Structure 1
Amino acid sequence: MSTPTSNVQAPDQLPWDPNCERFPSRKELPEIPGAPKDAAWVWGKDDAVSGCPFLKRFIQDCDSNALQLGRLNLLTPARVKEAAKEIISGEMFRLDLPLHIPEAPAFGRECFHHDIKEVVEDVVFDDTYTLNTQSSTQWDGFRHFAHLESKTFYNNVHPATTIKTTPTTLSIHHWATHGITSRAILLDYYTYHTTTHPAPYDPYTTHRITLRALTLCAASQGIDLRPVHQGGDIRPGDILLIRSGFVDRYHSLTPAQRGEVSRRSHEDLTFAGLSQDEDMLDWLHDCYFAAVAGDSPTFEAWPPAKEGGYMHQQILALWGMPIGEMWDLEALAARCREVGRWGVFLTSAPANVLGGVGSHANATAIM
């Protein structure tokens, strides 16, 4: 294992030390033999996958049960302890929608089903759930989306030889075992846009949130979106939350309108979200967020502006950064606006499912 001599991580000093305070930019990422451009498969023993020859040079004891955490490695005890300073009033905000919402999920995904079983008449009851983990508030795990050109998942994992046959590799249970707890920064872009433009946009359309627009939104909240080493407010290991207005818009639709949206084909679905521009990708990478999440079903603007330009492949497959979707940020955003404070303590407990692809977030923000 490498031992850094300063708090700045050298790009080619593998594996990287998550305790550093400054990490390489996207343009400074090391070239890893056999990996696609932009791959940041760098974290070492607690992140490595068995069978990765380029990491075995540095980690002799890598095995098939090693944790695969990606950017969650940044959630060190020191950062979690520091994040707890965001707790001032002790107010709690659950960030998960009820499991049955949306009533008809997008992309043709299965609806949530809940059954109650009477075990002993009038005395004992059980219940069972049937669900798709992508049907409501969720984490996209590293098994969810590959790098399209190479068809490799995070850390050079190939689906036919690993994901379909080895339940421990890139499984969501690693996140559950480690835990997800950090400071979260909420950007209420929907309110910002509504107050600065003549008419609000529809979150059910492909509204592309650019980095410039997001920066102006943050400035209106008193937040500097630059990384802390550049004089900004974003610290390594923070979790980014984006309110684009999807949940608010969902609740304004009639059941018939919601059903109409759910019946659209993949080609016809449109949602607001972050633009896939290069400056946005640079910023998302260079801030070293531990994870990102939003209230829309896709986080990124849908569909992308160009064919194959899915941000999911960079965030999940190349950088190992969890993506949350359909998070309920309504009550939290309202309270943050009332008190003028946008940093919160966030904790999430993904499902402890061996081989799991994704999970409902089970997330709570504490102010």
Structure 2
Amino acid sequence: MSTMKDFRRVADEVRNWGRWGSADELGTLNFITADKVAEGASLAKQGKVFPLGVDFGSSGPQGAFKFRQNPVHVMTVDGGDAEALVKYCTDWDINSVGQELSGFFAGEDNPFRFNDDMIIMPLQAATQWDALSHVYYEDKLYNNFPADSVTSLGAKHCGIDKVDGKGITSRGVLLDVVRHRGAELYLEHGQTITPAELDDVAKAQGVTVRRGDVVLVRTGWWARFLTTGAGSEPGAGLDWSCASWLHDHEVAAVASDNLMVEDPISAVEGTFLPMHMLCLRDMGLMLGEYWDLNALAADCAADGIYEFQLIAPPLRVTGAVGSPVNPIAIK
């Protein structure tokens, strides 16, 4: 078990505050330069597309957590409403543009009908990015911004909306720890992934992690969830010391197929999710959770190519501390 003294030493070593200026709110996404974007695009050679997002629905992984619920999908207009709309809504108008919709649905000779819906959900209900404002400690966000700048109105600093212009498209690298260990489906909890093992996996796969890459780590947690439906069941994750590995490799972001990226049981005495604190608050490195890496991993194993173009922009939700995403890998 490591101590808070160990944690603070690493925090001092990996902290990127001021590296890109005192006003910076992008953190390690600054490693994604125009050349890096072009490098990622050059890897789309076969035209194979791998969606890495999971379903946003009532059977998702968040139902077990009381402060987050699974998405609620509600139809506001559907086929059963068609006749009612024709009968009762012929006097609708749009005052903002000064156009009347009288007769919009009127008459059996008008074939137009429509469906409409809405969704209510936490922004981190399934496949998502953690914004840099998601986690903090000692009253400071990334780059020394005050934690109380996140209010009921949203995050004034380091919100997910600050990321949108960057796009998050780069060279992606998959590190398939499940296959490297020879596991049948997933890694058991307690089988923590260390920096040395990340190096071993990369070497075995013949891939090099470089500045500006987005690293995807496969633990098999999502494959197990599809079998068990147990959203709160812990699984293997990165050891907190992997923050130093990510810092040394100048990685732009990291994502995994599990629920927290790191091991949910802290290896630092007196803390919870120490790697979250180091990555989001000190490094300015975003974390992606609940990514489905199964199909991509199978293809990478088949052709031996573990690099690809990754496209994973968040939604531009003003002041949000996280965002749903449907990332895509292209080979």
- Once residues 154 and 80 of structure 1 are traced to their aligned partners in structure 2, the CA distance between those partners, rounded to angstroms, is 24
Which residue of the partner structure matches residue 89 of structure 2? none
Structure 1 residues 138 and 96: CA distance shift in structure 2, 3 A: same
Are residue 344 (structure 1) and residue 308 (structure 2) matched?
yes
Q: Per the alignment, do residues 202 and 124 of structure 1 end up closer, same or farther by CA in structure 2, a change over 3 Å counting? A: same
Give the aligned residue type for 2:317.
V
Q: Is the 8 A contact 2:155 2:319 kept in 1?
A: yes
Answering whether residue 199 of structure 2 is matched by residue 235 of structure 1, we say no
Deviates more, 1:112-121 or 1:71-80: 112-121
Is 1:112 the counterpart of 2:71 in the alignment?
yes
Asked if the contact 2:14–2:247 (Cα under 8 Å) also holds between the matched residues in 1, the reply is no
Deviation at 1:325, TM superposition (A): 0.7
- Does structure 1 residue 300 correspond to structure 2 residue 262? yes
Letter in 1 for 2:261: F
Deviation at 1:103, TM superposition (A): 4.7
Residue deviations 1:95-114 (CA, integer Å, cap 9, x gap): 10011252544533211110
Contact 2:155 2:321 in 1 (8 A): no
What's 1:138 paired with?
Answer: 128
Letter in 2 for 1:125: N
* Aligned residues with identical type, % of pairs: 32
The correspondence of residues 1-367 of structure 1 with structure 2, limited to 5 A, is 38-44=14-20, 48-49=22-23, 68-100=25-57, 102-108=60-66, 109-118=68-77, 121=82, 123-146=113-136, 148=137, 150-164=138-152, 167-194=155-182, 202-203=187-188, 205-223=189-207, 233-253=208-228, 255=229, 258=230, 262=232, 270-277=234-241, 280-306=242-268, 307-308=270-271, 310-367=274-331
User: Would you say the 8 A contact 1:206–1:270 is kept in 2?
Assistant: no
Root-mean-square deviation (CA, aligned residues, Å) is 2.5
> Shift in Å at residue 172 of structure 1?
0.5
Q: Quote the Cα distance in structure 2 between the aligned partners of 1:152 and 1:103.
A: 30
Q: How much has 1:355 moved relative to structure 2?
A: 0.5
Provide the TM-score with structure 1 as the length reference. Answer: 0.72
Distance 1:115 1:217, change over 3 A: same
| Maintained 8 Å contact 1:163/1:169 | no
Contact 2:160 2:319 in 1 (8 A): yes
Q: Secondary structure at the match of 1:208?
A: coil
- Alpha-carbon distance in structure 2 between the residues aligned to 1:36 and 1:187: 27
Distance across 1 between alignment mates of 2:42 and 2:329: 13
Quote the offset at 1:165 in angstroms. Answer: 5.5
Take 1:168 and 1:104, find their aligned partners in 2: how far apart are those partners?
A: 27
CA distance in structure 1 between the aligned counterparts of 2:240 and 2:216, rounded to whole angstroms: 17
In structure 2, distance between residues paired with 1:136 and 1:76: 28
Letter in 2 for 1:206: G
How far apart, CA to CA, are the structure 1 residues paired with 2:186 and 2:280?
Answer: 28
Q: How many residues align?
A: 288
What amino acid is aligned across from residue 208 of structure 1 in structure 2? T
Compare 241-250 and 73-82 and name the one that shifted more: 73-82
Deviations 1:193-232 (A, max 9, x none): 125xxx87644x2321112222222222123xxxxxxxxx
Are the counterparts in 1 of residues 177 and 201 from structure 2 also a CA contact under 8 Å? yes
* CA distance 1:114–1:95, shift in 2 (3 Å): same
Shift of 1:334: 0.5
Output the CA distance in 2 between the equivalents of 1:98 and 1:336: 23
Q: Which has the larger radius of gyration?
A: 2
In the alignment, the residues of structure 2 paired with residue 338 and residue 321 of structure 1 have an alpha-carbon distance, to the nearest angstrom, of: 31
TM-score calculated relative to the size of structure 2? 0.80
Gaps of 5+ in 1: 1-28, 30-34, 50-66, 224-232, 263-268
Aligned-partner Cα distance in 2 for 1:352–1:360 = 10
CA distance in 2, matches of 1:113, 1:162: 26
Q: From the superposition, tell whether residues 211 and 112 of structure 1 become closer, same or farther in structure 2 (CA, over 3 Å).
A: same
Q: Are the counterparts in 2 of residues 143 and 163 from structure 1 also a CA contact under 8 Å?
A: no
Change (3 A) 1:103 1:162: closer
CA distance in 2, matches of 1:242, 1:321: 15
Tell me the distance in 1 between the aligned counterparts of 2:134 and 2:320: 10
Q: Residue 135 of structure 2 contacts residue 280 of structure 2 at CA under 8 Å; is this kept in 1?
A: yes
In the alignment, the residues of structure 2 paired with residue 117 and residue 166 of structure 1 have an alpha-carbon distance, to the nearest angstrom, of: 27
Structure 2 portions without partners, runs of 5+: 1-9, 84-112
Q: Matched residues in 2 for 1:166 and 1:338: separation?
A: 45
